[in-house]
Amino acid sequence: MKDLAAANAGKFLDPERTAKGEERAHVSLSAPKTLWFNTGTLCNIECVNCYIESSPSNDALVYISADEVSDYLDQIKTRSWPITEIAFTGGEPFMNPQMIEIARRSLARGFDVLILTNAMRPMMRTKMQAGLKELNAAYPGKLTLRISVDHYSAALHDAERGVGAFDKTLAGMKWLRDAGITMAVAGRSIMAHSEAESRAGYADFYARHGFEIDAMDPGATVLFPEMDESVEVPEITTACWDILGKSPDALMCASSRMVVKRKGAARPAVLACTLLPYAPEFELGATLAEAERDVSLNHPHCAKFCVLGGASCSA
């Protein structure tokens, strides 16, 4: 199998021009809706295809603190960004000991809060369960946990996340169901399933376990395309918008940014995209003001995952 360098040799080198010399597409922050925070790359498990390489030992992105999150919530107000949602990803967010306080501060500002989790042991600790129940009661309808269910069959899910992972996640989902906490699901577009087949499979999974999740709603059941870096992908030019019938306003980088805290860094940084935490060219600065500049679609993920795959990390 070709590696990324070989598959896309000569491409994605110039932020302004493609390998063919055509004008590269850019995306403006036209309508900021979601501000993402990476809570840290530490995770209780190590998945086969984790795009951020989370594991029990990877602390390349360290735990972000409640005070650091509060600073960016203040910046949202200062910059008059029309943000409606604060979202958290990892690693596993519930590994961060301040996760409940971080969510509380975000909810107290009036934002919807989305937390991505595997719903396994970190979330199931007594302190986290009590905190989630408290937040859900204090801010009804404002908190959603998006559970990573790579496939609705245990065998395929466990092939990605390890033997027994499916049953542990299922136990966490049943606890959330019984606690009355809103759930969504993130799955993968794998195997030979069409989207219709995949959604039907998830619908059956939800029905069997009494989960009130809409399998047909792309915001409630998010099916992400695979991120195979060995696959050759086309570069996106300004002409592609009309050719593909797409608008740059539909891409994640038109409506969101992500804040990370790098190991050894004095302060967090703002990134253009949740999918490129380690690509320095997608780091926009330390503040939201600096992060208002345009984003060049200068990475294979921009083409395969967002433009051609049509994926979005937000609902």
Topology of the domain covering 4-308:
TIM Barrel (3.20.20)
Contact 165, 158 (CB under 8 A): yes
**Contact criterion met (CB below 8 Å) for 115 and 145:** yes
Tokens representing residue 92 in the block: 């596993």
Residues 245-269: what's their mean pLDDT?
95
pTM of the entire structure? 0.93
Residue range 273-294: mean pLDDT, rounded: 95
- Rounded to whole angstroms, the Cα distance separating 138 from 132 reads 10
Q: Is the distance from CB of 32 to CB of 255 less than 8 angstroms?
A: yes
Neighbouring CB atoms inside 10 A of 43's CB total: 24
81-90, 124-133, 218-227, 279-288: lowest mean pLDDT where?
218-227
pLDDT tens digits, residue range 142-180? 999 999 999 999 999 999 999 999 999 999 999 999 999
Show the 3-state SS of 92-159.
CHHHCCCHHHHHHHHHHCCCEEEEEECCCHHHHCHHHHHHHHHHHHHCCCCEEEEEECCCCCHHHHHH
